[in-house]
Amino acid sequence: MGGSWRTRRQPQAAAFRGALWITVIAVATTVAALSLQHLQTAKLLDLELKHLVEGELEALTAKYQDNGPVRLATYIDQQLTSGSRRGVVYMLAGANDQRLAGNGLTWPKGASEGVVSTFSIPVKTDNAVRIERVAGEARTLGPNLRLLVGHLADSRIALGRKYWISLILSVAITAGLSLTLGWFVSRRGLSFITQVAKTADRFLSGRLDERLRVSGRNDEFDRLSEVVNACFEEIECMVGSLRAATDGLAHDLKTPLTRIKARIELAALTGQSSAESEVLAQTAADLDSILELMNGLLALARADAASAENFEPIDLAVVVQDALDLYAPLAEDRNSRLVGELRPAPMQGVRALLLHMTANLIDNAIKYSPPGSTIVVSTSSQGGSIHLSVSDNGPGIPSAHRGLAVRRFGRLDESRSTLGSGLGLALVQTVARVHRGQLTLSDNHPGLVAKLSFNRRAN
């Protein structure tokens, strides 16, 4: 039994998610900004190109209206020969799109009237012919006469190429920087969570005076620290009151009960009748049960009060061997066999509590196992974990009732007739919790296996 808080781990998922979200936001912002800039630049270039092309068309249309098609063709060729119209594509076409003038050789299929469009056209430049991408507009001047004016789309193509290169580089740089800086920022922001986890961890270890540090910045973290500290103080107060009440009650009742038991035993020895002797014996047995309960409560109070400050280096195998030696005579009386499979198991802990815990497990195993049973007690060390298990051949505990079995005063119906206080497994659970261990109950087919797992260093 136990909670997930006992698993030691250093989670990094929150910091990674924070860095990833920062990266996604930064990359999305970069892409949106560059795309908007590209679209605005492209729109401005398109508008400027439209003004240039339409201006050229208006001027050439005026030439045609004033001087006719022959003078227009001569003028176009003169403009191209002078070299002042580099990057400009002209084509004057007659019937059947036959070229009359200009450096465009074939009328393009993609040319439209009234709108600037982009198309491919063979262009003659410096005694060579090249297929060029041109942004231009066509206009009908008269029957069987059309004029095409355009500009090379090199700048638009270059702009698009530079946009994609800039976008890829910007995204790569932004992602790298955002992921790196976001990781550090997230880790710094989550340092408070780490502080809370470590403080709560120590609090659960029994250091009830642990509190979160309040920075004094009066922010949300300080508010949360104050609330958590208030909860810690309340829990410490309640636990302290419960411990004091339990300890005081046990001590106050133990002394008069012991005296009463002594008087009853003395009366039984004075030669009373058999009926009176039986009543006295039953009363003494009941007092033994009450005294056992008081001792159990005192042991629980001592276990609850233990903390990591009381820990010392011990070998759990040595502690278990002492418990085996202590219960060997009882096992022989019940014709049971105690088997120890002990391997070195060094750890940090309170020896007296671990001995009491082991003794409770062995006592339960002997008590509930039939005569002639074999009880196996083993210790081992695997990596950073220490293991202790006690296996018996008794009736076991149904899986549905194992939670009740480890509660204080939790006794199953089958064991009501058996002497005991119902604090045995509760004490084992408490000692395991104090030592940052975990108690697990499972079937032995038949019987019960009580297994405890501890960290090598419980701090």
Residue for token pair 């070998």: 315
Same domain, 41 and 168: yes
Give 190 or 96, the one with higher predicted confidence: 96
Same domain, 323 and 341: yes
Same domain, 173 and 218: no
Per-residue pLDDT of 115-138, as tens digits, reads 888 888 898 877 788 888 888 899
Per-residue pLDDT of 357-396, as tens digits, reads 898 899 888 888 888 888 999 999 888 889 999 998 888 8
**Worst-scoring range by mean pLDDT, 36-50, 125-139, 239-253, 439-453?**
239-253
**Worst-scoring range by mean pLDDT, 151-155, 342-346, 356-360?**
151-155
Q: Is the pLDDT of residue 454 over 50?
A: yes
CATH number for the domain including 240?
1.10.287.130
pLDDT band at 459 (very low <50, low <70, confident <90, very high): very low
Domain that holds residue 135: 1-189
CA atoms of 450 and 242, how far apart (whole Å): 28
Domain boundary among the residues 136, 161, 189 is at: 189
The tokens describing 353, both together, are: 């509590």
Same domain, 392 and 363: yes
**Worst-scoring range by mean pLDDT, 67-81, 126-140, 237-251, 444-458?**
237-251
Per-residue pLDDT of 302-334, as tens digits, reads 665 555 566 788 899 999 999 999 889 888 888
CATH number for the domain including 4?
3.30.450
Domain boundary among the residues 164, 189, 214 is at: 189
What is the mean predicted confidence (pLDDT) over 153-162? 72
The tokens describing 454, both together, are: 């501890």
What is the mean predicted confidence (pLDDT) over 76-86? 79
pLDDT band at 407 (very low <50, low <70, confident <90, very high): low
Same domain, 204 and 185: no
Same domain, 46 and 152: yes
CA atoms of 375 and 397, how far apart (whole Å): 16
Q: Give how far Cα 195 sits from Cα of 8, 198, 199, 224, Å.
A: 15, 5, 6, 12
CA atoms of 14 and 8, how far apart (whole Å): 17
The number of domains in the chain is 3
What is the mean predicted confidence (pLDDT) over 143-171? 81
Per-residue pLDDT of 240-261, as tens digits, reads 766 666 666 666 666 667 777 7
Domain boundary among the residues 150, 167, 189 is at: 189
pLDDT band at 7 (very low <50, low <70, confident <90, very high): very low
Q: Is the pLDDT of residue 410 over 60?
A: no
Same domain, 144 and 236: no
The tokens describing 340, both together, are: 């120890």
For residue 329, cis peptide bond before it (omega within 30 degrees of 0): no
pLDDT at site 451? 92
pLDDT at site 2? 41
